[in-house]
Amino acid sequence: MANVTEYIKESYIELTEKVTWPTWRELQSSAVLVLVAAMIIAMLIFGMDQILQRLTTAFYSSLT
C-alpha cells in the first residue's frame, strides 16, 4: 500500500512541478492546426473516394 501512495505523491509532484504545460495561446494555436490538418485530410479522402467511385462505375458500366 505504501508503494501506491508513494506513486500517487510522485505523480502529483511531477504533474504540478516538472511538467511544462502549454499556455492558452499555444493551446489554441495547436487546436487550430489540428483542425485545419483534419479538414485537409478529410477533403483528400473524399476526393479519392469520388475518383474511385467514378472509376468503378465506369468500369462496371462498360461491362454491360
The 10s digit of each residue's pLDDT in 1-52 is 779 999 999 999 999 999 899 999 999 999 999 999 999 999 999 999 999 9
Counts for the chain of helices (H) and strands (E), in that order: 2, 0
Residue with cell 511538467: 19
CA distance 7 to 15: 12
The reported pTM is 0.67
Specify the pLDDT at position 1.
72
Question: Would you state the pLDDT for residue 2?
Answer: 78
Q: Give the whole-angstrom CA distance, residue 49 versus residue 38.
A: 16
| CB-count burial class (<10 Å; 0-12, 13-18, 19+) for 37 | exposed
Using 50, 70 and 90 to split pLDDT, how confident is the model at 64?
confident
